Structure 1
Amino acid sequence: MYQPIPDVGLEQISPFILLHHHGPHEFAPHNQGLPFGPHPHRGFETLTFILDGEIEHADGHGHQSVIKSGGVQWMTAARGIVHSENLSRNQRENGGKMEILQLWMNLPASLKMSQPNYQGLQENEIPKVISEDTKTEVAVISGNLEGKTGAAKSLTGLEMFNISMKVGGDFSLKVEEGKNVLFYVVDGEVLVNGKLAIGHQLVVFDSKNTDIELKAQSTTRIIFGTGDPINEPMVSQGPFVMNTTTELMQAMRDYQMGKMGVM
């Protein structure tokens, strides 16, 4: 597993507070699946990119789906949700490849106790932008790009794109000044404003760098997002991300009392 955020010297790129890259893994037939049984979250959102494989989601609010390669699972925990993630029954029985990337996005205090929600989107439900040279394909998960509106609704106006580039592909992105940028190279090699970035690297920008020019040096996949920084205190413990330690204690009590749902 790779964890670009948090890392030494980089606690977060608000509102993006955690990034895990699992895989690629090869599962044998009749496997036990993933070790992510029922567990709670409060105070933030998760966005899971299914790069390969089939991931099953279930939660205490009645949402259930299996999302396959190229799709995403956007879960708004907000005031509290209990959920589980696993390989699909098909992949537990038959095995196969699995690679996922999970991003945690903080919520401001005004939205931390809003209604939980889940959006499961298959690849064919996500609009695509194709570059003029046809060497770049951008899946518009949320936000807007070149007239395409993302399939997922974001409470905080996040833009989230999944970018695939072939060697020699050129693409440019414009970021609104003041927004923070998440830019993670899943694999491949790409020049970012003339500087080389390779697989498993996080590229960090300042909030005044509004033009991003990409030129793929090989087949490359990139996760790209923008969001408004949340200028508030943040305290976290395990699956809870709140503004004060008192709120953390309350989250633990509410979970123990079943207020976040039960599975």
Structure 2
Amino acid sequence: MIEMVIEARRKDLGGFEVGRVLPFHARRMVGPFIFLDEMGPAEFAAGAEAINVRPHPHIGLSTLSYLFEGEILHRDSTGATQPIRPGEVNWMTAGRGIVHSERTDPLKKSRGGPMHGMQAWVALPTEAEDVDPSFHHHGEEGQPSYENGGLFARLVAGEAYGAKAAAPVSSPLFYVHWELAEGVRTAPPPGRGVGGYAERALYVVKGEVEIGDRVFRGGQMVVLEPTAEPTIKALTPATVMVLGGEPVGPRVIWWNFVSSSQAKIDAAKADWKAGRMALPKDDDQEFIPLPDVPATPEPAPAPVKPDPTDPV
């Protein structure tokens, strides 16, 4: 039933750790999901730096931010300024190009507090790679949820279990948040064998779950075989993110840029270096420079990893 297990690689981003799951050297994508980070968990002291990601560019993808705890203030070059809180979704589509920052609000920084969430990048299908950039924020009412018998499930994006979330996705996908009480059994959306999604995976955020006769713990992603129809049992209270969808085709990933075309990546690098991409109007005093790394990407199948100074 299990194709692969991926261990999150913990990275210190200057007082704040993330667990990087995708891309992985042996598995670049799951459906259209090309990047997945677990942000934290962290507890910031009052006055600590907290989240401070300077403006930086993207092309060819949508970013999906989702929090369990804390708050992040998003600003981007479409003019959007939007805090995100637990249970909400920030869905930003870069298309032909967008610039955004993510920071802790100064008032929240002065108080300190917890931070824990997920950051995903969804590669756009080829026909949508050059769409105009856009930003959408959705509260809990935009995400169908279910709760019964120790299982809480929220459909964060896409379609699953007969429901559809509000985020404006560009290709078939699903992204689900489970909270499982000890002993609860449940199942992911169906796979290819029964007319479901071609690629699926589960990321255990915390706790322990059993799939077949194997146990998986926080920080592990389980990539399922396309036709597998497993039952997942929570051995302890557990938080799990379930994700997948239909592949959109091979993608080049370099720093914050994703594309089906190396030429588009090179053009985006030149535009950012030359200052041709507008900064957010309320956050235009600094930015992350283009990394000083060789222009030629690593040979396939090993991906060029995003800049470790940028967790989103």
Same fold (TM over 0.5): yes
Q: Write out aligned runs for 1:65-104 (5 A).
A: 65-104=82-121
Cα displacement string for residues 144-176 of structure 1 (whole angstroms, at most 9, x for unaligned residues): 344433132211122111111111112123324
Q: What is the SS of the residue equivalent to 1:93?
A: helix
Distance 1:205 1:146, change over 3 A: closer
Higher relative contact order (CA 8 A, sep 6+): 2
Count of matched residue pairs = 259
Q: Write out aligned runs for 1:165-180 (5 A).
A: 165-177=180-192, 179-180=198-199
Give the whole-Å Cα distance in 2 for the aligned partners of 1:145 and 1:237: 31
Give the whole-Å Cα distance in 2 for the aligned partners of 1:145 and 1:242: 27
- Of 147, 156, 174, the residue aligned with 2:171 is 156
Cα displacement string for residues 24-49 of structure 1 (whole angstroms, at most 9, x for unaligned residues): 11111122332311110001111112
Give the whole-Å Cα distance in 2 for the aligned partners of 1:102 and 1:152: 15
Give the whole-Å Cα distance in 1 for the aligned partners of 2:107 and 2:210: 39
Is 51-60 or 66-75 further displaced after alignment? 66-75
Give the whole-Å Cα distance in 1 for the aligned partners of 2:97 and 2:61: 9
Give the whole-Å Cα distance in 1 for the aligned partners of 2:210 and 2:230: 10
2:200 is aligned with 1:181? yes
8 Å Cα contact 2:191/2:200 also seen in 1? no
Letter in 1 for 2:208: E
Letter in 2 for 1:116: P
Q: Write out aligned runs for 1:18-57 (5 A).
A: 18-57=35-74
- Of 120, 139, 146, the residue aligned with 2:154 is 139
Give the whole-Å Cα distance in 2 for the aligned partners of 1:230 and 1:193: 30
- Of 131, 134, 137, the residue aligned with 1:114 is 131
Higher strand share: 1
CA RMSD, Structure 1 to Structure 2 (Å): 1.9
Structure 2: gaps spanning 5 or more residues: 1-17, 281-312
Is 100-109 or 49-58 further displaced after alignment? 100-109
8 Å Cα contact 2:58/2:98 also seen in 1? yes
Structure 1: gaps spanning 5 or more residues: none
Q: Give the drift of 1:58.
A: 0.6
Q: Give the drift of 1:83.
A: 0.3
Q: Give the drift of 1:4.
A: 1.7
2:227 is aligned with 1:216? no
Give the whole-Å Cα distance in 2 for the aligned partners of 1:212 and 1:42: 36
The percentage of counterpart residues that share the same residue type is 29
Q: Give the drift of 1:121.
A: 2.5
Q: What is the SS of the residue equivalent to 1:250?
A: helix
Q: Please give the TM-score of this superposition, normalised by the length of structure 2.
A: 0.77
Q: What is the SS of the residue equivalent to 2:50?
A: coil
Is 6-15 or 67-76 further displaced after alignment? 6-15
Q: Please give the TM-score of this superposition, normalised by the length of structure 1.
A: 0.90
